[in-house]
Amino acid sequence: MSDSEYRSPRRPAFFSPSALEAHGGAYDPTEQIHVAHETAMALVHAGRAAADPAVTERLVAIVDQIGLSTLAELWSQRPARSLPGTLWRLYVLREWVRRAPADATREYAAGIRFTGPNHAVAGASEPPDPDGISRLVDEILRGVFSGDLAVALERAAAFCRVVSAGRADISPGSTSAEHAANLLGMAEDLTASARLWRAAALD
């Protein structure tokens, strides 16, 4: 697929049950599940088949084109250890870093001393800075479309572990502790998804 052949996916039209009935159809939740998995697989395969840096960059920045809410409609309700659930978490991670690069950098930097090996796996710049952290999450997403996808997921998991440790250290309180725990859970899910991808079982 060349750059000229690439087309941004259209925003899906998901109707409520009452709206579907008004159009003469019955609401079928399995169809939305099917769409979620099909679009995730199509996105990954399109990027990996294209072998075109311009296409890869567009896929990395797809949220900038269609909005995070569109991806939420498509993927946010799917299991964490599925392809759509995994992609959703990667794009949410990227969006958080883009919106709060200083916070992401501060928490990441604070977590390095607790999780040195994970810092090495994530591959952040030394010392970490907002531009470097932003480049890192983009680089991780590029790996989904143009590199070793399992390695990309392991890097994302390592990034989450470092940030989690830093957040727990510098932001005391029950809310921060819950957020840190959520990041650890995300790391475990991404690691599991990497194993599934290697086993050709991530769908």
Q: Where are the domains of the chain?
A: 3-198
- How large is the average pLDDT for residues 62-79? 93
pLDDT level of residue 31 (50, 70, 90 thresholds): confident
Which pLDDT tens digit goes with each residue over 143-163?
Answer: 999 999 999 999 999 999 999
- The 3 state secondary structure assigned to the chain is CCHHHCCCCCCCCCCCHHHHHHCCCCCCHHHHHHHHHHHHHHHHHHHHHHCCHHHHHHHHCHHHHHCHHHHHHHHCCCCCCCHHHHHHHHHHHHHHHHHCHHHHHHHHHHHCCCCHHHHHHHCCCCCCCHHHHHHHHHHHHHHHHHCCHHHHHHHHHHHHHHHHHHHHHHCCCHHHHHHHHHHHHHHHHHHHHHHHHHCCCCC
Percent of the chain whose predicted confidence (pLDDT) is above 70? 86
pLDDT level of residue 21 (50, 70, 90 thresholds): very low
Single pTM value for the model: 0.84
Residue 175: predicted pLDDT: 86
Which pLDDT tens digit goes with each residue over 114-131?
Answer: 998 999 999 999 999 999
